[in-house]
Amino acid sequence: MRKFIPGSLLIILPGTIVLLLSCTQGSCFEETESFLKASFYDNATKTLIAPDSLTLYGLNNDSLIYNKTVSLQPALIPLNASTESCTFGIQINGVTDTIEFQYSSYPHLISKECGYTFYHQLDTLPKFTKHIIKDIYTSNKTVTNQNVENIRIFY
């Protein structure tokens, strides 16, 4: 006896196998978050030096980013794409200052596998109090997912 296989099954089954084998699993190996990168410098010698202790928190949303972190270089500061400014409390070696960033955000396609992220453009120089921070220098106004310094904090 002969078994009957429907013609539509002969078309669907090989088509499904070819479709499954042709799809490759996409993986995202790139950084997908855009952080403002802040490096710390000694104000007297102008040399790169990490603070003994760093605490960083958002003032408007009460988020703790770093809590007494030791020898951090650089600090990665998250900017909110849904607002045009962020204010942070920053405690360097036990002394607290505030820093305010004003910026504009825009979407950027990283890749098909990774999707979109938001890049930010610093619109003005950061505003800050001067308890321990002596100066802030903007080295790169475009905040991306690349490992590029955006600001230098002199303390």
Q: How many CB atoms lie within 10 A of CB 77?
A: 21
> Would you say the C-alpha torsion 129, 132, 138, 144 has a positive or negative sign?
negative
Q: Measured over all CA atoms, what is the biggest interatomic distance in the chain, rounded to whole angstroms?
A: 95
CB neighbours of 61 closer than 8 A, spacing ≥ 6?
80
Specify the DSSP class assigned to residue 26: P
Contact 122, 150 (CB under 8 A): yes
- The residue-averaged pLDDT of 18-32 equals 67
Per-residue pLDDT tens for 86-126? Answer: 999 999 999 999 999 999 999 999 999 999 999 999 999 99
Q: How confident is the model at residue 60 (pLDDT cuts 50, 70, 90)?
A: confident
Predicted TM-score of the model (pTM): 0.79
Query: What does the pLDDT look like over 132-145, one tens digit per residue?
Result: 999 999 999 999 99
Q: What is the DSSP string of 113-150?
A: TTEEEEEEEE-SPPEE--SS--EEEES-SEE-SSS---
* Average pLDDT for the chain: 89
